[in-house]
Structure 1
């Protein structure tokens, strides 16, 4: 691990909530290793925000998140791959990848997907009343 990959208190000092990560079913169904992961803002109290993948998922696989990503307790992930424990302590916005035979490397140029929310904002009270 290089000096730039070592965690600082700013990298890991967020309030920790949740105990589940969403993990690609390929990790379990095909017994493939986790090779790419990122942490987004958690969606609910049990969610850590971590999303873990093998690197073999295509767009159609990822489009059906409810079927192809499964919630997994972090403790189970540590048992599958002890190298995950240190990485899963990082804050939202963190991305990691590794190629076969190499150590984890932090990624800085990946744009983490976000859920889109349709919001309409107005300062006009009449327009606001019409929206209700």
Structure 2
């Protein structure tokens, strides 16, 4: 089995070759409200054209906090967040499905492979019942 070639920075080409679109990441408000560093992040499939798919957290968010995305997450330009923390610059080049963690006592990032990235849920009903599609006149 052939292993992917890495570029000069050590990033494997097949892990960073998705089409790049969007410029916003969703960042936990705790990063700004409490001046905490980002310590956990993952990339999901972007939800719209401006979305990069990156979701970034301090690591101190409760499950309830994370669930209330509209109130507790801020859309921030990826460039701005990378200017605030230069250690993110190389990591944000990775594809959807990538998860990174930085422990409080560590300055370096570690790739995580056993985290299940949450996905958006849609209320979809599938049926073979033709009568459900008949529109009353």
- What TM-score do the two structures reach when normalised by structure 2? 0.85
1:47 aligns with one of 33, 51, 62: 51
Contact kept, 8 Å, 1:23 with 1:72, in 2: the verdict is yes
Superposed CA RMSD in Å reads 1.6
Structure 2: how far apart are the matches of 1:129 and 1:16? 42
Q: 2:42 is paired with a residue of what secondary structure?
A: strand
- What TM-score do the two structures reach when normalised by structure 1? 0.88
Contact kept, 8 Å, 1:35 with 1:55, in 2: the verdict is yes
Larger radius of gyration: 2
Q: Does 1:92 align with 2:96?
A: yes
Shift of 1:126: 2.9
Shift of 1:122: 3.1
Structure 1: how far apart are the matches of 2:70 and 2:100? 23
Q: Which runs of 5+ in 2 are unaligned?
A: 1-5
How many aligned residue pairs are there?
Answer: 126
| Higher relative contact order, chain-length normalized (CA < 8 Å, sep 6+) | 1
Structure 1: how far apart are the matches of 2:134 and 2:50? 36
Structure 1: how far apart are the matches of 2:133 and 2:87? 51
Deviation per residue, 1:70-126 (Å, 9 max, x gap): 000011111111010110111111000011224101100000011111212234433
Q: Which runs of 5+ in 1 are unaligned?
A: none
1:63 aligns with one of 49, 62, 67: 67
